[in-house]
Amino acid sequence: MCKKIKGCGRHIDRCMIKLIEFINTHPRINTISSCCGHGKYNMTIVIKYQTETGIDGRYKWKVKELLSGIPLPIKTKYYKKDKQGHYYIPEVMK
């Protein structure tokens, strides 16, 4: 179900590879994790992006789920596993 993209060291659902590669072409966006939902949950894509802050024009990193626009805390793991073995993001389920 998941395919590893050469050189990135992450597992990406086969149906999302082209989309994730396209999103990662943006110079101030990095995809942290993603899941197609496997027919049980909505597709989710967690991104880290730079946004301007302050008068000096410096950028600050923020994290959000791209499709819902829900901001997420900066942490290493976003997905939880349900009893059937499917992954979901609790913050997006609210």
Inform me whether the pLDDT recorded for 52 exceeds 70: yes
Confidence of residue 9 (pLDDT cuts 50, 70, 90): low
Range of the domain at 40: 2-93
Q: Do residues 66 and 23 make contact, with C-beta atoms less than 8 angstroms apart? A: yes
Q: Do residues 51 and 66 make contact, with C-beta atoms less than 8 angstroms apart? A: no
Q: Do residues 79 and 88 make contact, with C-beta atoms less than 8 angstroms apart? A: yes
What's the total number of domains in the chain?
Answer: 1
Q: What is the pLDDT of residues 54-75, one digit of tens each?
A: 678 778 889 999 999 999 998 8
Any long-range contacts for 72-79 (C-beta under 8 Å, 24+ apart)?
Answer: 72/46, 74/48, 78/32, 78/33, 78/46, 79/33, 79/35
Write down the pLDDT at residue 1.
43
DSSP H or E stretch at residue 46: strand 44-53
